[in-house]
Structure 1
């Protein structure tokens, strides 16, 4: 019988520790300091996570490891905001699309308006970054069991 490897079975302990910090929205220098690693080590772990999940950006990597159940979402301190349908669509597009063009198309926005819409969504949710927003959205269960991993919408 052939053994099937999932990302959970092939991520190292350090990669899982880095992933946990990633989904909380921590930047590489903060991850390195908190985990006692160099920034180069953090970058290496994030690169490997990206290769295993087929996700090229921080926010799609965060969605991938959260959707796969590899790490728990960050602790949320406030109830989920009541998002409009357009905001929910933008949030889902953010989780699965790796480019502004892909995010705009998936959210039904013009490329000129997607960044201001994202800034407004970040402010409305209290997220520090797009990656942090993806982590919070999982904590609030706003992305549900979409079954969508990172890497789409390129």
Structure 2
């Protein structure tokens, strides 16, 4: 006997929100007045959407900026400790709302349109935490006490990145979107995303910025050249960049930047000042200018992988 899948619940409060545009143009709506918006990097948002399943309310996606916004009711009670890179958008911040029929494209569009449910803040928070934990490298186990000498095989070295992964990684550093990388390499977008996921899993890098760090610090690819002059960066700017790159933790930030929203505001400002198209492009620009020594791979590193 086969069972039919239960339909997604349709809740009347989201059938046609008052903030939906009546025209064919994308119009702004304000956070916390009309809804609460949780901004999530695309690499985390896609699997979170799958994990939530029919429990998902309206979700906006933008392939150019590689950010998604989960829209929750404005009276939602939110957890405080969201994973790194996830941001509760501040009150009054405008979010572009496209027409209901806009469900694809490179610009802002509906990944899940209104009228299909409401996202639980607790469920979203839990799934994002689980996904972040899975992407992190496993801690090393302490050595077991040996009662007699045991001959063990040498640990296997991780397989080198393929030429396709290296080319995708090189374009990632330029700030190109998934679609732009696919067009440049003549590959389907799904294949590009699969390569990016493989790179992230190999290095335990859940975000695009940390993948850029791993590719650069390991000497796998070189940063793209920069023509504009380097801006003057303060010690606080460099601290923010180290956290973004995954070289240090948020505990190393000044106290006034510990709230994730203020940290991400500073990252946005640095992207604009440095002329970066994305977080990973910002990391690449910093590496090219040799502003963070940890991003520069030793020239004598063995097993250094280069583009063919």
1:94 to 228, 238, 244: 244
Residue 258 (structure 2) pairs with residue 110 (structure 1): yes
Corresponding residue number in structure 2 for 1:138: 287
Deviation, structure 1 residue 43: 0.6
Cα separation, partners in 2 of 1:146 and 1:14, compared to 1, 3 Å:
closer
Q: TM-score, normalised by structure 2?
A: 0.43
Corresponding residue number in structure 2 for 1:123: 272
1:5 to 157, 180, 184: 157
Is the 2:287–2:295 contact (alpha carbons within 8 Å) kept by the matching residues of 1? Answer: no
Q: Which has the higher contact order (CA 8 A, sep 6+)?
A: 1
Give the structure with the larger helix fraction.
Answer: 1
2:191 to 41, 45, 61: 41
RMSD of aligned alpha carbons: 2.3
Residue 226 (structure 2) pairs with residue 76 (structure 1): yes
Q: Name the SS of the counterpart of 2:293 in structure 1.
A: coil
Is the 1:18–1:31 contact (alpha carbons within 8 Å) kept by the matching residues of 2? Answer: yes
Greater Cα shift, 128-137 or 104-113: 104-113
Give the structure with the larger strand fraction.
Answer: 2
Q: Which structure has the bigger radius of gyration? A: 2
Mapped partners of 1:126, 1:19: distance in 2? 20
Runs of 4+ in 1 over 3 A off after TM superposition: 1-4, 102-106
Structure 2: runs of 5+ lacking an equivalent: 1-152, 297-308
Q: TM-score, normalised by structure 1?
A: 0.82
Deviation, structure 1 residue 107: 2.3
Structure 1: runs of 5+ lacking an equivalent: 148-154
